Structure 1
Amino acid sequence: MARIPAAERRNDLVNAAIQVIATHGVDGATTRRIAEQADAPLATLHYCFASKELLFAAVFERVAAEYQEVIVRSEVRGDVATTARELLRGAMTWYLDSTAFAAATIELISWAQRQGGNSAAVVYNQAFAVLRSILGKANSDQALDAETIDEISYIVAALSDGFALNWLTFGDREAAARQVDTSIAVLDAWLATKLASPASAEQRAPEPVQPKTGMSSLISWVNVG
């Protein structure tokens, strides 16, 4: 039998860990399960990774790198609104097509928080840095300050994360496809207000808001079709 290079084995084990974490959670991701998923001897796993923590760190790096690649692939050469829209669409489409990555990411972030480390913050900070870089290069009729770019990045991340949680909870692909459009419509509405010129904002007369009472006034974001 041909010997498999160590780098390839490490890659297989990281991929296996993502699948096992997505299925069994971090607590259920034993080294034995991960080795079996990778079709590798348990001793090989311990040779490639001295501890499970080091393996999980490698998984975090893979998740962060994959998410950044998704963001970069979604970049368009357009205005800020178009760019933000496609970044959001790209992230949500990735969650739909890469369910194991989405589930493993959420599991790992929860685990990292319990451990008291900053691995989760590293993943988010790296993603935000890429988002800010792309949005900062987008065409705009007005100069956008760093705070506005940060806010747009946050909205994109918050909408995509909320979408991922809903998708993982219900697993309804048909409904999720509609929710992609709903999320993008929310982003568009927020951007239209945020990026409106001061003159345009002054010209818009505020519409009267009718108070609502009772349960009918509560809006649920869960499994919106």
Structure 2
Amino acid sequence: MNDQEEKVARKRVSADERRSRLLAASLRVMKREGIATATTRAICAEADMPHGAFHYCFHSKKDLYAALLASDIEIDLTPVWPEISPTASAEENIRTLLFAYWSQVESDPDAQLVLFDLGSFVLRDPELRELPKQGYEDSLDKAVGYISRLGEEADLVFVGGERTLAGLVVTTLNGITWSWLAHRDSAAARAGLAQFAELAAGLARRRTEHPAPPLPSAGRHETPSESRGRR
């Protein structure tokens, strides 16, 4: 391919695709050589892209770090959703999703190490230390999305709300992942996830049996005396 053909080919690559390729390349460099060696030039070389492509997709290394911390490192639950059913118990459905997530964590432990290392790395930098908080919020939003879909697919509602359960899910997964990275006992990790599924199922109710409460009326509120008069 000559220079002109190469330029045309690059133009056909969308900004999202370039960004995705650079994120994947940065993760490979960090897994192989560590965070400190992941320079913009090293990342672009790994992605087989010109150096200028980095600043086309990211404003700075801070922007890259934020994107990595917000990512699920290629975790994809799409294949498991057909297994979720309203005929199964809440515990079975939650366990199915957790185990599907966990199987992908186990398949690439180095990626999880990078995330933990990156979180510690940016916390030591005054200009970057807010990134883990944003990463946590992004993880929480994704967990809310998963739980919302679980409610739709399995006909469930959750006591305390979806975001409350999402916080428990994110905290539990982080804790079990960190422990597993230390002991690499997959059976213990899955046992912990199964126990959490049992506990989380206690917060689930069938939607048809427990419909959402009606929204408050937009009209005038009753006074205390009016309320007593209706009793």
TM range (shorter): 0.5 to 0.7
Give percent identity, aligned residues only: 23
Q: Which residue, 21, 24, 36 being the options, matches 1:12? A: 21
Q: Which residue, 194, 198, 203 being the options, matches 1:185? A: 194
Q: Which residue, 133, 138, 148 being the options, matches 1:123? A: 138
**Which has more radius of gyration?**
2
- State whether structure 2 residue 103 is matched by structure 1 residue 89: no
TM-score, structure 1 as length reference: 0.64
Q: Which residue, 163, 177, 199 being the options, matches 1:164? A: 177
CA contact (8 A) 1:22 1:107 kept: no
RMSD: 3.3
> d(CA) in 2 for partners of 1:144 and 1:10?
36
- The gaps in structure 1 that reach 5 residues or longer are 197-225
Q: Structure 1 residue 130: deviation in Å? A: 1.4
Amino acid in structure 2 at the alignment position of 1:91? Y
Residues 73 and 158 of structure 1: CA distance in aligned 2, closer, same or farther (over 3 Å)? farther
Q: Deviations along 1:9-64, whole A, 9 cap, x unmatched?
A: 43322111112233444333222322232233434434443422233344345x14
- The gaps in structure 2 that reach 5 residues or longer are 206-231
Residues 81 and 29 of structure 1: CA distance in aligned 2, closer, same or farther (over 3 Å)? same
> d(CA) in 1 for partners of 2:177 and 2:189?
10
> d(CA) in 2 for partners of 1:87 and 1:169?
23
Q: Which residue, 159, 177, 181 being the options, matches 1:145? A: 159
Q: Quick check: which one's helix share is greater?
A: 1
Corresponding residue for 2:221? none
**How many pairs were matched up?**
186
> d(CA) in 1 for partners of 2:119 and 2:171?
15
> d(CA) in 1 for partners of 2:198 and 2:144?
24
> d(CA) in 1 for partners of 2:46 and 2:180?
25
Q: Structure 1 residue 160: deviation in Å? A: 2.4
Q: Deviations along 1:171-192, whole A, 9 cap, x unmatched?
A: x4xx32x134312332255357
Residues 64 and 195 of structure 1: CA distance in aligned 2, closer, same or farther (over 3 Å)? closer
Q: List aligned pairs for 1:27-38, cutoff 5 A.
A: 27-38=36-47
Q: List aligned pairs for 1:75-114, cutoff 5 A.
A: 75=81, 76-77=84-85, 78-114=88-124
Residues 90 and 20 of structure 1: CA distance in aligned 2, closer, same or farther (over 3 Å)? same
> d(CA) in 1 for partners of 2:143 and 2:197?
20
CA contact (8 A) 1:14 1:55 kept: yes
> d(CA) in 1 for partners of 2:42 and 2:146?
35
